[in-house]
Amino acid sequence: MLLKTEKVFTTMQYINSTIFFTILFFLTSCSVFLYDKPSKNTVSQLKQSYEVSLGSGWTEEQANRLLVTFDFIYQDSEEPNPNLNPSVWKISNTDLQEDFKIESADNLDHITLRSDIFSIQESHEENAQETILSNQPFFRVVAQFVTEDWTNISVVKQILKDGTDRDRIVLVLKEMYGLSLVRKDTPEANKIGQKLQKYIGELRLSKFKNQELVELMSVYEKFPKGLHKIPKLKYLIRSPQAPYAGSAWIVADCVEYAAATFSIKNENEFQRVILHEKAHFLWEYALNGKLRKEWSDLGGWHKDPNNKFGWAKTKSRREFVTNYAFSKNPNEDWAESVSYYLLHPNKLRSASLDKYEFIELVMLQYTDGDVPFKRLKTLTSTD
């Protein structure tokens, strides 16, 4: 009888323990859930200062990062209390093509963020403002929301102007233009070297100077926003003794610049080289075959196996913006013409109004940097 009582007592102990730990787990879970939600103070500051409301699913850390980023962007602004449209910020667990999307309806902006955007380059510094810019791509989301061009934000301007913080210069180069630098003895260098072996032999690399990178970015800014990033243009390489000022290596997703390029005294010539090489990637990836044929026809280009460059033309020299545009093929004609469209549009217009208008229609398709890059099939006016 005693054994039976002990058994009942033991069973009751087990049941009570199970109930106790179940309740404890439930309370702990509730506590975590409750205390992980954004605080009333954070929610209030977002609303009062920036007209920002939060959807469900935000944690205090995430909400605080949003607030700190807004504060950071406006810390040097002449308008510390910006007149922003009311907005609702949501976190999505579904796949988004980009890091975020912005939609507007009835004077209310809806910003949807990818849920994993907060796991990228998290900062745990005590002074979060010191590392805000390196919290990419979250900084870019907020920056693009508050301004059409995040290069106008004072802190980014200062970094580019100062030219001394290499890590941040490289970061801005990557975030704004999708470009990475290739260093010696890296997997990227080995891969590019293999692809270029038959063209240039051994790949020799030298290091970009900070000011050279700033100069490159200042020239890239001449392209419309939608052409700041081109998916297949991924790398920049600097060669100590290249026989040419620049070369667009489509096969290796990179542009190569000679070290001597950055010593060109004529600013217009320097900018023309930079724009010319990037324009080759537009020829390859922004225009489909039909549009490349239309461009070729404008220059009177036709294939000629007897010509050393494989092309001949029926149009006279005066219809080409430079001797180089006239000398080789429609691809070089395009690259030269694009560089003059961006630098000296009147000269291109004088040489060929048809080419000027063709390029202008292309550029109009890419004025909006928020529209994903895609190859054009036809050209239409946006008027």
Claim to verify: residue 158 and residue 271 sit in the same structural domain: yes
What is the 3-state composition of the chain as percent helix, strand, coil, each rounded to the nearest 5?
55, 10, 35
DSSP for 260-276, written as a single string: GGGG-S-HHHHHHHHHH
Query: If you average pLDDT over every residue of the chain, what do you get?
Result: 84
Claim to verify: residue 166 and residue 130 sit in the same structural domain: no
Structure tokens of 88? Answer: 């609702």
- Over residues 284-292, the mean pLDDT reads 96
CB 257 within 8 A of CB 246: yes
- Over residues 271-294, the mean pLDDT reads 97
Of the pLDDT bands very low, low, confident and very high (cuts 50, 70, 90), residue 5 is very low
pLDDT of residue 26: 45
Residue 5: inside a domain: no
Contacts of 163 (CB under 8 A, 6+ apart): 169, 210, 211, 214
Query: Domain total for the chain?
Result: 3
Claim to verify: residue 253 and residue 169 sit in the same structural domain: yes
Considering only 18-22, 329-333, 345-349, which range has the smallest mean pLDDT? 18-22
Claim to verify: residue 229 and residue 308 sit in the same structural domain: no
Claim to verify: residue 139 and residue 168 sit in the same structural domain: no
Asked which of 128, 147, 166 is the last residue of a domain, the reply is 147
- Over residues 229-233, the mean pLDDT reads 93
Q: What are 307-328's pLDDT values in tens digits?
A: 889 999 999 999 999 999 999 9
Q: What are 350-383's pLDDT values in tens digits?
A: 999 999 999 999 999 999 877 889 999 999 765 5
Claim to verify: residue 312 and residue 329 sit in the same structural domain: yes
Claim to verify: residue 141 and residue 239 sit in the same structural domain: no
Query: CB neighbours (10 Å) of residue 136?
Result: 17
Give me Rg for the CA atoms of the chain: 28
Residue 301: inside a domain: yes
Claim to verify: residue 143 and residue 175 sit in the same structural domain: no
pLDDT of residue 183: 92
Claim to verify: residue 166 and residue 270 sit in the same structural domain: yes
Structure tokens of 352? Answer: 């060929």
CB 113 within 8 A of CB 93: no
Residue 50: inside a domain: yes
Considering only 10-19, 52-61, 229-238, which range has the smallest mean pLDDT? 10-19
Residue 31: inside a domain: no
Considering only 76-90, 121-135, 158-172, 256-270, which range has the smallest mean pLDDT? 121-135
Give the span between the Cα atoms of 356 and 370, in whole angstroms.
25
pLDDT of residue 92: 87
159 against 333, higher pLDDT: 333
Asked which of 276, 300, 328 is the last residue of a domain, the reply is 276
Question: Which domain covers residue 178, as residue numbers?
Answer: 154-276
Q: What are 172-230's pLDDT values in tens digits?
A: 899 889 999 999 999 999 999 999 999 999 999 999 999 999 999 989 999 998 999 99
pLDDT of residue 16: 52
The answer on pLDDT for 126 being more than 60 is no
Claim to verify: residue 55 and residue 90 sit in the same structural domain: yes
Residue 78: inside a domain: yes
Asked which of 100, 124, 147 is the last residue of a domain, the reply is 147
pLDDT of residue 82: 67
Residue 88: inside a domain: yes
Residue 346: inside a domain: yes
Residue 379: inside a domain: no
Place of tokens 């946006």: 382
Claim to verify: residue 197 and residue 245 sit in the same structural domain: yes
Structure tokens of 68? Answer: 């700190």
CA 138 to chain centre: 12
Claim to verify: residue 248 and residue 308 sit in the same structural domain: no
User: Angle at Cα 248 formed by Cα 242 and Cα 249, nearest 5°?
Assistant: 90
